[in-house]
Amino acid sequence: MKNTLVDAGPLIALFDKDDIYHQQILEFLKSYNCHLYTTWPVITETLHMLSFSTEVQLDFLNWLDRGGLRVLNFDQRVLKRVISLTKKHNDSPVDFADASLVALAEREDIKDIISIDSDFDVYKTKKNTFLNNIFLSS
């Protein structure tokens, strides 16, 4: 099974039934067979955007607890890469969550991401490649 990163947007859409991408991401994830990975900054961003409802936040946290996706930890080397990406993209700021995904994609050699925005068409990995946004290309 393929390892795939997931950004905050699809996670928010998955748990916010009023989100315009809710149904589309729900159907996509049902049909896409992969191991989902994300980072703690993405989890924080997701919970912040779901703060309209403690119940929805708890649904998300319980889904995480049941293994809905795996959360990748990072160390000082990854943090240094996040800093480097932030400096590199200071003209079109990269947020902490996105930079953490790029840095961990490099470390874990993950090439695919699920995101609802085109930010990952801007951020290149150390190998001078872009992450393949399988949601936008579907």
Domain ranges for the chain? 2-133
Q: Where are the alpha helices (DSSP H) in 1-39?
A: 8-15, 22-31
Under CATH, to which class is 2-133 assigned? alpha beta
Give the N- to C-terminal CA distance of the chain in Å, as an integer: 18
Place 91 in a pLDDT band, splitting at 50, 70 and 90.
confident
Q: Provide the mean pLDDT of the chain.
A: 92
Cβ-based neighbour number of residue 40 at 10 Å: 14
In this prediction the pTM is 0.92
Is 62's pLDDT higher than 90? yes
